[in-house]
């Protein structure tokens, strides 16, 4: 049986500060949990006996079987509880000091919407983009909304927090790594000659409202515009997740 303190801990993991402090995050629902289990250490699975049946729990540190009468809404992170909750350990990666054939990597520059972050992670995993760097101000990739929206893709990419984004990009440039960014005054996408899909490169995707920050924009040596079909009548900008999908598709499927 879950204790009061354990329930309190689970509830507290809805907050980023507590997730950072504990190094833990939550996932709910059988599909999401089964897709995370191969990639993340699972400290505890909580669910009814019926739902736990068939779930591979041999690597799970603790399995807590609850009665159907247990008030699952106390610990659920969803509007419609799935009656299976996992407590997972976050992964940490040291920033790479060298580039060695990893291909295209993304930098998310203060992308704030969790839905956009989840879609970008899922799209990156689909195309085989393995590294995503996030500047300060970017939404937490381990928030419940992001975890659920990635549909398991969270474990298929390496996530890095960038405390000093400009220094990181400058270092990449000094090693001959091309740095792409999206701008309204950039070269139309159809005219851009990308590197080979297997060559190292960085692609910076900017904040939903202001785009790429000035400091990082000054370091982009390749500026790209995704042009609208109708230049005289179009929305102000593309959604950042959609723009990322277009660019990843162009990079990997040319």
Note whether residue 97 is domain-resident: no
Give DSSP secondary structure letters for 58-124: TT-S-EEEE-TTS-GGGT--SSS--SEEEEEEPP--PPPSS--S--EEEEE-S---HHHHHHHHHHH
Please name which of 233, 249, 230 lies closest in space to residue 241, comparing C-alpha atoms: 249
Q: Is 231 exposed, middle or buried (0-12, 13-18, 19+ CB in 10 A)?
A: exposed
pLDDT per residue, tens digit, the chain (254 aa), is 899 999 999 999 999 999 999 999 999 999 999 999 999 999 999 999 999 998 999 889 999 999 988 999 999 999 888 899 999 999 988 887 678 778 999 999 999 999 999 999 999 999 999 999 999 999 999 999 999 999 889 999 999 999 999 999 999 999 999 999 999 899 999 999 887 888 899 999 999 989 999 999 999 999 999 988 877 666 677 899 999 999 999 999 87
Q: Which of 89, 115, 148 is the last residue of a domain?
A: 89
- Tokens 């409202």 locate to 209
CATH code assigned at 120:
3.40.1280.10
Element (H, E) at 46: strand 42-48
Q: Which of 29, 59, 89 is the last residue of a domain?
A: 89
The half-sphere exposure of 241 on its side-chain side, counting CA atoms within 13 A, is: 15
Does residue 177 share a domain with residue 121?
yes
Note whether residue 54 is domain-resident: yes
Note whether residue 202 is domain-resident: yes
Does residue 197 share a domain with residue 77?
no
With DSSP H G I counted as helix, E B as strand and the rest as coil, what are the percentages for the chain, rounded to 5? 35, 25, 45
Report the alpha-carbon distance of residue 237 to residue 184 in Å, rounded.
Answer: 8
Does residue 203 share a domain with residue 109?
yes
Does residue 249 share a domain with residue 168?
yes
Does residue 118 share a domain with residue 70?
no
Note whether residue 69 is domain-resident: yes
Any idea of the CA torsion for 141, 146, 147, 150, to the nearest 10 degrees? Answer: -110
Does residue 216 share a domain with residue 126?
yes
Domain encompassing residue 77? 4-89
Write down the pTM of the prediction.
Answer: 0.92
């Amino acid at each position: 049986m879950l204790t009061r303190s354990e329930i309190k801990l689970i509830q507290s993991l809805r907050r980023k500060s507590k997730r950072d402090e504990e190094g833990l995050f939550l996932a709910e629902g059988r599909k999401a949990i089964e897709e995370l289990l191969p990639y993340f250490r699972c400290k505890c699975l909580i669910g009814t006996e019926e739902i736990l049946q068939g779930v591979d729990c041999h690597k799970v540190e603790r399995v807590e079987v609850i009665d159907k009468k247990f008030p699952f809404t106390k610990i659920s992170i969803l509007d419609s509880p799935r009656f299976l909750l996992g407590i997972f350990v976050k992964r940490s990666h040291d920033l790479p000091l060298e580039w060695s054939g990893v291909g295209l990597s993304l930098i998310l520059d203060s992308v704030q919407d969790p839905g956009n972050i989840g879609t970008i992670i899922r799209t990156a995993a689909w195309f085989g983009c393995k590294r995503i760097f996030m500047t300060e101000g970017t939404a937490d990739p381990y928030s419940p909304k992001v975890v659920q929206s990635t549909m398991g893709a969270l474990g298929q990419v390496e996530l890095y927090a960038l405390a000093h984004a400009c220094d990181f990009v400058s270092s990449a440039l000094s090693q001959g790594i091309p740095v792409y960014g999206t701008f309204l005054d950039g070269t139309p996408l159809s005219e851009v000659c990308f590197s080979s899909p297997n060559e190292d490169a960085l692609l910076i995707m900017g904040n939903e409202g202001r785009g790429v920050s000035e400091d990082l924009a000054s370091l982009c040596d390749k500026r790209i515009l995704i042009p609208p079909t109708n230049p005289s009548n179009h929305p102000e900008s593309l959604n950042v997740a959609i723009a990322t999908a277009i660019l990843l598709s162009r990079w990997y499927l040319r």
